[in-house]
Every structure is written in C-alpha cells, then in structure tokens.
Structure 1
Amino acid sequence: MAPEDWLVNLAQQHRLSPTQRQVVQRMLGMFPEVAFLSTIEIAELAGVSQPTVTRLATALGFAGFPEFRSALREAVLAVVPAPRTPPRRSPVAAISAIDQECANLGSLRREVGGDRMAAAVRLLAGSAPLGVVGLRASAALADYFGYFAQRILPAVVTCTDAATVADTVLQLHQQGAGALLVFAMPRYPAATVSALRLARRFGMSTVVVADSGLVPFAGEADVLLTAPVGAGLVFDSHAAAVVLSITLLDAIAATDPQRTQQRLEAHESLIDTWIHDA
C-alpha cells in the first residue's frame, strides 16, 4: 500500500473536522518528506497552527504527534517511492472519496426496500401540510427535497433557519400537519433536536434522514432513515442523502398517481414562462 493510501484510509476511519481534513489533504501533497517534518514545519506548509497539527494526530487515534509521525515514517519507509514532483493536491483522496460514495449508494439498496422506508412514505404522504426541516449543513438537502415536493404535494413548508424553526413547527401543528421530515447530517445542530422534540410534543410524527442509525437523538424519530456521508474530503459529501431524498419523493408521488399527474401537468404549463430556450 502506498503511504498516501495509508493516510487516506486512516483519516476515513475517524471523524475529522473540516480543518483537520484540510491538513490531511495538504499532507498528501508532501509525501514522502512529510514523515520527517516537525509539527511547526507541517503547520507552516499547511497554513494552519501548530496545535491544529497536534490535535490531528490525536484525532487519528495516536497518543500524540511523535507516535503519529513514527507510524507515518513506517508507512513511507515500507515502500521505495518513485522520483516525482509532489503535486499541489494529490488525487488519491478524491478517488478514494468517490469509491466511498459508491459504497454509500450501494447501502441504500437495503434502506429503500425496507420497512422503514415504507413507514416513512405513509407518514409523509398523509401529512398536509408537510413540514421539512434542515439546518446548517442539512439546509441544502431540505431545500432540495422541498423544491420538488411542492410539485406533487398541495402544501409544503420548508425551514432552514435555526432561529425560526420552533415557530415553524408550531405553525405546522396549528395548520394540521401530521408529520415532519428532518434532515440531520453532522455536525448535528441543537436546534434540530429541539425541533424534533417539539414536533413530538405536539403529536406530530417525525421522519429523520441521518448519516447513521446510532445518532444520539434516534429516540426522537418515529422513523429513522440512514444515508451515510462521504468523509474523505475536506467537507462531507451528501450524495447518498440526495439519492435517498429523491427516491423517497418518488415513492410519495406514487401513493396518489392521479394527484401527482395533475400537479405535474399544471407545473409543466408554466415552464414556458421561465425556461431558457436557446
């Protein structure tokens, strides 16, 4: 195994912060010299502080930087590197991240065909209006789902603002909503968990899309759907969550084919007013 692959595999086994992932990315472009550099030298080359490099070693499971550097040296000395000019950014991490996403997408086969998916569809399809919540890193997922959900459902309310999420849940309850769909990707905002608890207090069913079935707030969900995140790059990749979202929406549309057809045709009649036709 190439030493770069060793570092990438090690990083993928631990939950690193975006800053720590950036340091790993920079280190991939420093091989093999990186195994013989000090924390100060790595910090300067990576454009971060020395404590950040030290914390990275701990986050990777080592007692400290000296132990991490020893393991790094062993990985480098285990192979004879071919002469080369170190790239500014190694493609190893990107390729590995794509492989990880393929595995994440493969895991969705069990999820979309299981009982939890069927239960989620029943709850969400029967709610009018349907509430969709996604805060911080999950905001884009909520907006994505909500944008297309409006094409097939009569009433959809999307909230991506932590400051107003409690008000939104209250209003949904007052409007007769029976279910709330919540996207909860790491790092999990406290406001997301508060919204889940508030919805359950109001008697609303909750469907949660998270990266793991072991999230600490799993008990707040009536249905928990899992979509693993890709953690091989600086920021998490939500490819699996996007596929799960659109699959969930497709299943909801199938619960009332006539309504879906009518609403899609009505939307189609508006396309000529906004689409760009070169």
Structure 2
Amino acid sequence: MDRAEDWLLTLAQRHRLSPTQRQIVQRMLGMFPDVAFLSTIEIAERTGVSQPTVTRLATALGFAGFPEFRAALRDVVVGVSPAPERQSVPAIEQEMANLESLKRVLDGDRMREAVRLLAGTTPLGVIGLRASAAPAEYFGYFARRLLPAVGVCTDAGTVDDSVLEWRDQGATALLAFAMPRYPAATVAAIRLARRLGLATVVVADTALAPFAADVDVLLVAPVGTGLVFDSHAAVIVLAVSLLDAIAATDPRRTQQRLEAHEALVDNWIHHA
C-alpha cells in the first residue's frame, strides 16, 4: 500500500487544499486499501466531515467528481496504473526551499522600494486579517521599537476606518500581509488605500495573487503547504528583514529608540 499512499500524498501536494481537505487526505492515508472502495458517505463518517466536503476534495484534486477520483484510486490500489514518481518533499525541506527563493526578493529592487516607502511614512499602518493577523502583529510589535507611530489592524470590521485614519494622520504608505485564503476585506482595504493616495506594500505568497495589479510593491514570501495548515516561516523572515532594512535607513534614530526600550526591559522581564 505504500505506493498507493505515495500516489495520494503526491497528488495532494500538487494542489492547493484547504486545511480541512489536507486533514481528510491525512486520514485517508491510514485507510488503505479500503478507502478505494468506500462511498463518499462512508469516507465522510470515517474522517469526521460532511459528504459534500469529501466531494469537494475530489474536485480540488483535479477530478471531475468523486467517481472519477475513486476510479483512479482503485487503479492505483490494484496496480492497473503506475504511481507517479514522488516529487513531494518533507515540510522542513519545503521551508528551506521557500527560504532559498526568498533570497532573490531580499536582494531585489522591490525590497529596496518597499523599505523606502515604509521608512518614509508616519504613521506606518500594518494590515493583517485572519491567517495574516499573526505576521502583522509580529511585524508591528518590533516596528514600534524603531518608528514613532505604528498602527496594526487585524479586524476586518474596522480596517477601512484604520486606512482612513492613517491617511488623515499623514501616512503616505501602508503594509499589508495577504496570505491564502485572501480575505475580501484585505483586498478592499488595499484598493481603498490606493484611491486615497497611499502607496501599498503587500507581502503575499505568490506573484500571481489575484489582486497583484492593485499593489504598488508586491513582496513574495512562499508559504509551506506540507502540513495541515500553511506555515509562514518565509513570511516571518521577510518581515524581520524589512525591519532590519528600515532600521538601517536612520541608524541614529534606531540607536536612540532601542536604547530607550532597553532601559525599560528590567520592568517586564523575569529575573530568576
């Protein structure tokens, strides 16, 4: 059954699946050979999801429907057709490849333009909704050590208000993190910012993001897709690299602000 499991795993990693769909695949890997002969109802019961969710998995994997997917699965199980050569890589190796590809971004003109825009705006607004909230908060936490005014919005209900407020306070640019699945409110906020005259720097997982044409500077940080949920190692490295480059634009201010912060450290760190 190893060959059949490899076939399903390779197929899954060639397509962008939702976390729920990845979880179904992982559970199906432990159900061979029976899984090739089960109905959508039976698979749904064994994997703990709804029948329509199982059907959507089949189409997400590139099949016209579940019957076509099951037929292909049966062929692999009984050895009618050879399993494709496995091209997937473990999650750690995929992250290493993502970080390797990030080198071109960090050394490129888009990175330099992003730094120029973000270092030159006061305040600096940062947007990150849903899955992008964590990298946005991470960036904002450390950006406050470097810059005099940083705002972070992770609430879809107030993001437009935040963009308007930043513009009224004198902002000339903002930073947005837009990871899959792209929230509609993020895209709307990016478009609003441009209509208001703000330059937009966006960190996304691909240059082919559907809103790429609405962005002034698009920085690509691939996400890891080998686990149930996307991993954002490259996104965090890009965020820290942005902070480092922004700090270098005004070394004196950076030193003064970091020293002021350091003077407060004893108030909040734990002493053994």
* TM-score, structure 1 normalization: 0.90
Describe the SS at the equivalent of 1:161: coil
Q: Using the alignment, how far apart are the partners of 1:136 and 1:255 within structure 2?
A: 31
User: C-alpha displacement at 1:64, in angstroms?
Assistant: 2.0
- Report the equivalent of 1:116: 110
Gaps of 5+ in 1: 80-93
User: C-alpha displacement at 1:37, in angstroms?
Assistant: 2.5
User: C-alpha displacement at 1:100, in angstroms?
Assistant: 1.9
Q: Give the fraction of aligned pairs with identical amino acids, expressed as a percent.
A: 74
User: C-alpha displacement at 1:17, in angstroms?
Assistant: 2.0
Of 224-233 and 207-216, deviating more is 224-233
- Report the equivalent of 1:85: none
- Report the equivalent of 2:240: 246
- Report the equivalent of 2:85: none
> Does the alignment pair 1:29 with 2:23?
no
> Does the alignment pair 1:147 with 2:151?
no
Q: Using the alignment, how far apart are the partners of 1:242 and 1:2 within structure 2?
A: 36
Q: Using the alignment, how far apart are the partners of 1:111 and 1:191 within structure 2?
A: 26
Matched ranges for 1:43-82 at <5 A: 43-78=44-79
Describe the SS at the equivalent of 2:90: helix
Q: Using the alignment, how far apart are the partners of 1:76 and 1:256 within structure 2?
A: 62
Give the RMSD, CA atoms, in angstroms.
1.8
Gaps of 5+ in 2: 81-87
Q: Using the alignment, how far apart are the partners of 2:12 and 2:29 within structure 1?
A: 11
- Report the equivalent of 2:165: 171
Change (3 A) 1:34 1:126: same
Instruction: Tell me the amino acid that sits aligned with residue 2 of structure 1.
Output: R
Pick one of 92, 100, 103 that aligns with 2:97. Answer: 103
- Report the equivalent of 1:227: 221
Instruction: Tell me the amino acid that sits aligned with residue 181 of structure 2.
Output: R
Of 224-233 and 147-156, deviating more is 224-233
Instruction: Tell me the amino acid that sits aligned with residue 69 of structure 2.
Output: F
User: C-alpha displacement at 1:95, in angstroms?
Assistant: 7.0
Of 171-180 and 34-43, deviating more is 34-43
* TM-score, structure 2 normalization: 0.92
Q: Is the 8 A contact 1:20 1:56 kept in 2?
A: yes
Give per-residue Cα distances to partners, 1:83-121, cap 9 Å, x unaligned: xxxxxxxxxxx9722222222111101111111111101
User: C-alpha displacement at 1:272, in angstroms?
Assistant: 0.6
Q: Using the alignment, how far apart are the partners of 2:75 and 2:109 within structure 1?
A: 47
